[in-house]
Amino acid sequence: MLRFDFLEARNLRHAIALLQRHGNDSRVVAGSTDFLVRWRQGFWRPAAVVNLKGIASLGRISFSPRNGLRLGALATVQSVESNAHIRRRYQALATGATSFAGVQVRNLATIGGNVCNASPAGDTLPALLAFDAQCTIAGPQGTRTLPLTEFFLGPGRTALEQGEVLTQLTLPAPMPRTGSLYIKHSPRGAMDIATVGVASVVTLEEDGRTCRDARIALGAVGPTPFRATEAENLLRGRTLTPGLLGQAAQAAEAAAKPIDDVRGSAGYRRAMVEALTTRTLQHALQMASGRAVTFEEQRRLAVQTAF
Amino acid sequence: MNKQPLAITVNGHERQIFVAPYYSLLDTLRDELRLTGTKKGCDEGDCGACTVILDGKPVTSCLVLAMSAQGSDVTTVEGLATPDALHPVQQAFIERGGLQCGYCTPGLIMAAVGLLQDNPRPSAEEVKFAIGGNLCRCTGYTKVVEAILLAADRMASQC
């Protein structure tokens, strides 16, 4: 039978020291929702786990117009889903969080864990990428920051070095006239992994028609979640017509490099990228134009319930 | 890998036990505390059968490391009824036929209890969303949703 030792980190410095001491034989846990599944599968076999969950200072969420959104890595997905600032200003992140697993897992799983697990299908990741998240990483040599776009190296592989811990994600404050949405497509409405996930963020100029900025990020259609930059470039500075949104969706589809698996064929995934990019852009545009969409409506758009 | 001391409050009773460092909260409840009302279905967070309330929130206890629940407060299905009466959610499941084989029932009931703590008057859609993480292969869910809505009505009218 597989076994491991449980090491409780008293604070961040202690966590880093424990990780240095135990090296590759140790793994960080926080919510442990990914860890316990992978451990029981025999995929991860550490001799020791270092539990971060008790470090209360890493669980905070704060927002200010100047500093943007600061997400402590240990903030639960549920706390992201229910945060009033996030629901109001970062709708794609709130809808990404609400589409994540089920409430029982959202109450355990942390935003930092979702990032560090580096699944191509992680439900909070497209929104974090689309909102230009920066990672704060603490390690034996001190603290460094890294754009989230450079954090993901492959499925389950990140830029974290030995002894390093992701401590915070920082998202700049959205400009006025910004709207956003994440849509998850999966066989089951809850507790499932996305077949395709798309997050779009649209910011309009003062005229209410011209696109000032557009960000599109795709999940589950490549080795990592990634930004569809060609699609974004088609939209910036242009008047957002239905035809142009369709062109951007086709560019997003062209950027997707999906695989065939049990949740869908590569061809099906590509087709879904186009459909969901169009849909997320349409709704993001409407929200950017000032149309109020309640969170319940956003959730209905973001995740289909299975029954 | 010696067992380690764990202080945990379960259904209102403070317990001091020793558990293996790799034990889940679910296995601890069932094997160490002999509280077998909480069921093990998939052991990977897909089915919701192991749902308990941990520090006020419903969680899949198969995905919680017992040692990480040090000092926590846990309510299992055994902790709902009083000596005189079932919990309103339990009573409503019986009256509405919200169960057949019963294996998923403790998890569904705990998910419902968790929902009604946060949202005492949920819509049918909110109920369906809240139990999306609980699999039931018998009922087709219709009677489960009806039972939770009935319990919500009764609990709200008691306040």
Q: In chain B, where are the structural domains located?
A: 4-79, 88-158
Instruction: Please give the CATH architecture assigned to the domain spanning B88-158.
Output: Orthogonal Bundle (1.10)
Residue A87 in tokens: 């629901």
Under the banding of pLDDT at 50, 70 and 90, the label for residue A190 is: confident
* pLDDT for position A1: 62
* pLDDT for position A157: 98
Cβ of A53 under 8 Å from any chain B Cβ? yes
Enumerate residues 45 to 104 of chain B having a beta carbon within 8 A of any beta carbon in chain A. 45-48, 51, 54, 57-60, 62-65, 67-68, 70
> Are A32 and B43 inside 8 Å of each other by CB?
no
A contacts of B46 (beta carbons < 8 Å): 191
Q: What is the pLDDT of residues B43-71, one digit of tens each?
A: 999 999 999 999 999 999 999 999 999 99
Residue of A nearest to B123 (CA): A296
Q: At what angle do helices B88-96 and B142-158 cross, to 10 degrees?
A: 140
Cβ of A40 under 8 Å from any chain B Cβ? yes
Under the banding of pLDDT at 50, 70 and 90, the label for residue B1 is: low
Q: What is the pLDDT of residues B90-126, one digit of tens each?
A: 999 999 999 999 999 999 999 999 999 999 999 999 9
Select from A144, A141, A170 the least CA-distant residue to A159: A144
* pLDDT for position B36: 98
Domains in chain A: ranges and CATH? 5-51 (3.30.43.10), 56-171 (3.30.465.10), 178-302 (3.30.390.50)
- For an interface test with B, which of A1, A10, A104 has the most B Cβ atoms less than 10 Å from its Cβ? A104
Average of pLDDT values for A160-187?
97
- Written in H, E and C, the secondary structure of chain A is CCCCEEEECCCHHHHHHHHHHHHHHEEEECCCHHHHHHHHCCCCCCCEEEECCCCHHHHCEEEECCCEEEEECCCEHHHHHHCHHHHHHCHHHHHHHHCCCCHHHHCCCEHHHHHHHCCCCCCCHHHHHHCCCEEEEEECCEEEEEEHHHCEEECCEECCCCCCEEEEEEECCCCCCEEEEEEEECCCCCCCCCCEEEEEEEEECCCCCEEEEEEEEEECCCCCCEECHHHHHHHCCCECCHHHHHHHHHHHHHHCCCCCECCECHHHHHHHHHHHHHHHHHHHHHHHCCCCCCHHHHHHHHCCCCC
| Distance separating alpha carbons of residues A99 and A101, to the nearest angstrom | 7
Considering the domain B4-79 in this protein, what is its CATH number? 3.10.20.30
Q: What is the pLDDT of residues A203-224, one digit of tens each?
A: 999 999 999 999 999 999 999 9
Q: Terminal CA-to-CA distance of chain A, rounded, Å? A: 38
- pLDDT higher than threshold 70 for residue A307: no
CA angle A272, A189, A133 (to 5 degrees): 65
